[in-house]
Structure 1
Amino acid sequence: MQTDVLKKKLEGCYVTVPTPFRDVEGFPIDEDALRTYVRFLIDGGLTADNAVFLAGGAAGDFSTMTFEERVRVAEVVVEEVAGRVPVAMGAQTTSTLELVRLAKAAQRIGADFIQVSCPFYFSHTEGDFEEFVREAAEAAPDIGIIIYNTFWTTTNISFAMVERLAEIPNVVGLKWATPRTDAMEFESVTARFSKRFTIIDNNLFFAFSPMPALGARAFEVHLCNFWPQWGLKLVREIGAGNYAEVARMLVEEAMPFYKLWVEIERDFTSGDGYLDKLCMELVGLPSSRCRPPTRDARQRYRAPTLAMMRAIGTPNLVEA
């Protein structure tokens, strides 16, 4: 395994591609729409030099799909990118046996990475999680593993746990978010481990996480799904060290999107990907809801979403 090559592949925009479904009984996966999503991102300028596509993550409805559907979604994305952009396959699960199957499948279909977080529902120990990751690493030694700290649903990964995970050669990425406390867990881990892993900032600290003292090199960017050029500008400004402009972009353009997301989650439905897909519809991409129990937010939130997109300057709106 070429660890340094995989780490380099992770840099840039980490784009969580939603999974589209057809609005018929059972909500089957709409493979044609998924291919359209991927082509839109590539046509928007996302390449191997500036992006990674996550197939079947949380925004991709992994929790409502069968094993076979999860593999197929990743396979479609791998096929459509045709080597032009690295692909990570969502591999979050409550079962070590299923994780091993997902890791082997990802390796078979030609994905570059799998994304793994601590098993949810039960409060697993860090020892449980370490064994969980090691099983996947041994099952698919050619796959890069991205560790995702989903502290809001399960065990929060400690500094000491990150140190132990660093011993596993094919753990190459750390998708990092932490609760905000005076202990500065985000900063301490990022500063200490940015040379060992590619740090993916999942805390929206883009205005300072890439600074040399911390060294994050990748950024979870939901706005890319409907505005890929925004992510490209983010990467350019970070590369130029223009952190004041990055902060402006976050406050004036990204923050309204995330505030609307929080409003929908508070007042109407929960899950992930529903706002991404509504925004994608409003720039002319195929429409889709998330599978239940997440409810269809499109009708109720179309007007406020369109207003938000106009306010932040989203290009190519079809209802402008």
Structure 2
Amino acid sequence: MDFEKLKSRLAGCYVTIPTPFEDSAGFPVNHQAIRTYVRFLIDNGLNTEYATLLAGGAAGDFSTMSFEERIGVGETVVDEARGRVPLAFGGQSTSTLELVRLAQAAQSMGFDFLQVSCPFYFTHTEADFEEFVMAAAKAAPRIGIIVYNTFWTSTSLSFGMIDRLARIENVVGLKWATPRTDAMEFEDVTSNFSRRFTIIDNNLFFPYSAMPSLGAQAFEVHLCNYWPEWGIKLIDEVKAENYPEIARMMVEEAMPFYKLWVEIEKGYTSGDGYLDKLCMELIGLPSSRCRPPTRDIRENYRARTLDMMRAAGVPRLVAN
């Protein structure tokens, strides 16, 4: 494994590809629609310079798919991407045995990275998680491990835990999110570890976290699934230090999407990827609901979502 090469490839927009399903019994995976998504993202600029695409992450409905379905999604993404953009594979699991199989499959399929989170449901210790990550790293030594701090579903990682994970050779990325407190945990880890890992900002602080004193190199972004140019422009504006335009983009274009997402999650259904897929449908891409238990939001929130997208100036809208 070429650590520096992998680390340098993990930069820019970190985009989870939603998994579309057929609107039929059992909601089978729609592989042709996945191909359409991948082509759309790459054709609109999310290439090696600007992005890494994640297959089978949370917004990709990993939690509702079988092991075989997750592998099938990964195979389709790799085949359609054809090396034009770095790829990560979602390795979230509650089982170390399954994680090892996912890691081996990701390496065999040709993924650059494997995303790993602390197992959910049980409150595992940090030492449990350290062994979990080490198992993945040993199973797939030729790909880079991205550690994802999903503190809202499982054990939150401390500064000391990040320091221990830094000793695992093929951990190349840290997808970093923290609760907001006066202790500034987000900044503490980012500023201290950005030379060791590629920091993927999962708090949407990128205009701030990309500053030299913090050093984040990538950010999780949902808007790119229906507006790839938005993420590309944000990266370019950050590099140009055009802070008035960055602030406008965040407030007028990003914030309305995330506010609507939170409103849906608090008042109607929970999960991930449901608003991405509705927005994708409204620009003419094939789409679907998420699998249950996440409920279908399309009928109840289509008009609100369309209004939000119009006000933000989203291109390619096809809905009336």
TM-score of Structure 1 vs Structure 2, range by shorter chain: over 0.9
1:83 maps to what in 2?
Answer: 83
Confirm or deny: 8 A CA contact 2:48 2:86 kept in the other structure. Answer: yes
Deviation per residue, 1:113-162 (Å, 9 max, x gap):
01000000000000000000001101110010000000000000000000
Query: Partner letter of residue 267 of structure 1?
Result: G
1:246 and 1:298 mapped to 2: Cα distance? 30
1:271 and 1:150 mapped to 2: Cα distance? 14
Shift of 1:235: 1.1
- Pairing of 1:260-275 with structure 2 (within 5 A): 260-275=260-275
Structure 2 counterpart SS, 1:208: helix
Deviation per residue, 1:184-231 (Å, 9 max, x gap):
000000000000000000001122100000000001110000000001
Confirm or deny: 8 A CA contact 1:57 1:90 kept in the other structure. Answer: yes
2:241 and 2:199 mapped to 1: Cα distance? 17
Query: Partner letter of residue 128 of structure 1?
Result: D
User: Are 1:36 and 2:58 matched, yes or no?
Assistant: no
Shift of 1:239: 1.6
1:310 maps to what in 2?
Answer: 310
2:49 maps to what in 1?
Answer: 49
Shift of 1:250: 1.0
User: Are 1:254 and 2:254 matched, yes or no?
Assistant: yes
1:151 maps to what in 2?
Answer: 151
Deviation per residue, 1:244-284 (Å, 9 max, x gap):
32222111100000000001111110000000000000000
Confirm or deny: 8 A CA contact 2:283 2:317 kept in the other structure. Answer: yes
Shift of 1:298: 0.5
Name structure 1 gaps, 5 residues minimum.
none
1:235 maps to what in 2?
Answer: 235
Deviation per residue, 1:45-96 (Å, 9 max, x gap):
1101110000000000000000011111111111101000011000000000
User: Are 1:68 and 2:44 matched, yes or no?
Assistant: no
- Pairing of 1:156-235 with structure 2 (within 5 A): 156-235=156-235
Structure 1 counterpart SS, 2:270: coil
2:6 and 2:203 mapped to 1: Cα distance? 22
2:27 maps to what in 1?
Answer: 27
1:156 and 1:248 mapped to 2: Cα distance? 32
Structure 2 counterpart SS, 1:207: helix
Confirm or deny: 8 A CA contact 2:41 2:228 kept in the other structure. Answer: yes
- Pairing of 1:101-140 with structure 2 (within 5 A): 101-140=101-140
Confirm or deny: 8 A CA contact 1:206 1:247 kept in the other structure. Answer: no
Provide the aligned C-alpha RMSD in A. Answer: 0.7
Query: Partner letter of residue 80 of structure 2?
Result: E
2:4 maps to what in 1?
Answer: 4
Confirm or deny: 8 A CA contact 1:57 1:89 kept in the other structure. Answer: yes
1:80 and 1:129 mapped to 2: Cα distance? 33
Query: Partner letter of residue 123 of structure 2?
Result: S
Query: Partner letter of residue 285 of structure 1?
Result: L
Structure 1 counterpart SS, 2:174: strand
Name structure 2 gaps, 5 residues minimum.
none
Structure 2 counterpart SS, 1:239: helix
Shift of 1:238: 1.4
Query: Partner letter of residue 107 of structure 2?
Result: Q
Normalising to structure 1: TM-score of the pair?
A: 0.99
1:86 and 1:190 mapped to 2: Cα distance? 22
2:236 and 2:221 mapped to 1: Cα distance? 14
Which stretch has the larger CA shift, 149-158 or 236-245? 236-245
Normalising to structure 2: TM-score of the pair?
A: 0.99
Shift of 1:241: 2.2
Confirm or deny: 8 A CA contact 1:207 1:244 kept in the other structure. Answer: no
Query: Partner letter of residue 284 of structure 1?
Result: G
